[in-house]
Structure 1
């Protein structure tokens, strides 16, 4: 079941399938931590797995896990200081008013409902949320229009991409929780790129994976999607100098 894209003695980068939990305790069903612990046990290694970031159960794509406490600590610092690039592809209802841009909002997470909201003022529990996006392609469908977008997170808030676009009447296809009206898929969101400086070797790690060839991603130009995946991460965005200090 594991699809490992990169592994050394410090980290493992793999694909989290849609429907699999990121960690135990988020609900019933298989989770990535348990799968990776079993994988390491079968290799006669320590079963330590450090969780660095999460994907919602109904979201799939690239994730990185640490194989030691030292790697966990260093990568956690990189994520906190935003020296860690996370990019996604998503399919939304409609067409953004601008082909590309930056979305900034105040977001509040209601833990009792496991749901987040864009709000208009700062108060207890409210955090700033920021991302940038670019529209790859817009197509006509029976329901109107679908747009394939590329998203780079600046912050990592709960359900951030889903909420920020839904608040602009551009919900993700299949995301009934936030207004998506299509029931042919789960939320059409895929973690397609992780880029960071390796916490121990200091090499640039740049891992990309195409979204699955299934609804609704398969509706768009495969050539355009591949062109996006081929694009190099701007190495200046992954600040080696800052990471080398830790």
Structure 2
């Protein structure tokens, strides 16, 4: 791996593109914090949010303890807006919608399940989606998360018979990359309060071929 694409940095934070396969939490030189420390010459990097190891895309990290506290509050207050792109097997029943589920994460198996009643460890999960393209076999979907549960997008889609491409854990097969990408994040700057927005498309190869079309580009521009 060895390097990382940094979209923005200042004294308080850095925004980067997490490579698929890298850990978003600190786990040595090849994790995203390790790659950022090397790229920026920073002594410390604070993770603010998580992204599944097999997924890639835009993330923000704090470079000071004060910025980490402010950004963490933004996450808790729902001010870190996260929009993902996902490739699903099959097509959602409606072109756009919102889903709420109860999820339980089994830490021993590192797997999340949709459940029907509250009990210890069960947490509510909410998202909205919009279908950007589809051929009946696969669909390209924009997803906005309102909660940040472990494997949330993967589980909520898989539970409706729409596993993500390449997601062997939840029934989507193991061929190629996982069809999940953090496309855009938006958050208030921890010092100035200014709204910061950053986006990056995934590589235009499997399973992201649809992104090469002008029609998809225009639909992404419509997502405010």
TM-score tier after normalising by the smaller chain length: over 0.9
Trace 1:29-178 onto structure 2 (pairs within 5 A): 30-41=30-41, 46-140=42-136, 145-178=137-170
CA shift for structure 1 position 229: 3.8
CA shift for structure 1 position 171: 0.3
- Once the two structures are superposed, residues 195-225 of structure 1 have per-residue CA deviations (whole angstroms, 9 ceiling, x without a partner) of 1111112211111111211101114552233
Mean Cα deviation higher: 220-229 or 116-125: 220-229
Do 1:109 and 1:125's aligned partners in 2 also have CA atoms closer than 8 Å?
A: yes
Mean Cα deviation higher: 216-225 or 166-175: 216-225
Structure 1: gaps of 5 or more residues: 234-246
Quickly say closer, same or farther: Cα 1:67–1:220, change in 2 above 3 A.
closer
Secondary structure, counterpart of 2:135 in structure 1: strand
Do 2:29 and 2:35's aligned partners in 1 also have CA atoms closer than 8 Å?
A: no
- TM-score, with normalisation over the residues of structure 1? 0.86
CA shift for structure 1 position 55: 0.9
Quickly say closer, same or farther: Cα 1:49–1:29, change in 2 above 3 A.
closer
Do 1:139 and 1:220's aligned partners in 2 also have CA atoms closer than 8 Å?
A: no
Tell me what 2:197 maps to: 206
Do 2:211 and 2:217's aligned partners in 1 also have CA atoms closer than 8 Å?
A: no
| Residue-pair matches, total | 222
- Once the two structures are superposed, residues 52-103 of structure 1 have per-residue CA deviations (whole angstroms, 9 ceiling, x without a partner) of 0111111000000001111111110011110110000000011111110001
Quickly say closer, same or farther: Cα 1:5–1:29, change in 2 above 3 A.
closer
Quickly say closer, same or farther: Cα 1:29–1:40, change in 2 above 3 A.
closer
User: Alpha carbon RMSD of aligned pairs, Å?
Assistant: 1.6
Secondary structure, counterpart of 1:70 in structure 2: helix
Secondary structure, counterpart of 2:123 in structure 1: strand
Mean Cα deviation higher: 195-204 or 97-106: 195-204
Q: 1:8 aligns with which of 7, 10, 16?
A: 10
